[in-house]
Amino acid sequence: MEKKATAEADKAAPRIGEQIIVKTYIGSQAEATMSFQADAARMAAQGYLPVFQSWAPGQWRSGAFIAALLLCFLIVGIPALIYMLIVTPDGALTVTYGFRGAPVDEKI
């Protein structure tokens, strides 16, 4: 069992000389996914395939919420606070590409 887990870890771990590219796509989840899919086809033509991807939703900074709450006393902050609760900032889709060799053109 331990040898199998080690063999799988060796396959996933980058080897010396193996090329890895990390790209980040910013936007809503749908926009970032569309950008990734378009870029993945171009990267595959160069021999790079996606190895790992991670989605991180956007967040407002805590200082922005505090400022909006303080401005609520001046009534100006109420629309700002409502806006911050309704609209979410852009997230980030991070994709790691690994080089799998030159693309092979198969002719049948």
Q: How confident is the model at residue 1, as a pLDDT?
A: 41
Place of tokens 């919420």: 65
102 pLDDT band, cuts 50/70/90, is: low
Q: Which residues does 20 contact at the CB level (< 8 Å), separation at least 6?
A: 14, 51, 96, 97, 98, 99
Domain that holds residue 57: 19-99
Residue 103, phi then psi, degrees to nearest 5? -65, 145
Indicate whether 52 pLDDT > 90: yes
Domain count, the chain: 1
Is residue 12 in some structural domain?
no
Exposed / middle / buried, residue 82 (Cβ in 10 Å: 0-12, 13-18, 19+): exposed
Give the list of residues 6+ apart from residue 104 with CB closer than 8 angstroms, or none.
none
Please report the pLDDT score of residue 18 as a whole number. 66
Asked if the structure places residue 34 within a domain, the reply is yes
Most confident of 52-56, 62-66, 98-102: 52-56
pLDDT at 73 over 90: no
What average pLDDT is seen over the chain?
79
What does the pLDDT average to over 58-66?
Answer: 83
Residue 38 lies in a domain: yes
CA distance 94 to 82: 29
In a domain, 60, yes or no: yes
Phi–psi pair at 96, nearest 5 degrees: -105, 125
pLDDT of residue 38 exceeding 70: yes
Asked if the model's pLDDT at residue 5 lies above 60, the reply is no
- Whether 95 is in a domain gets the answer yes
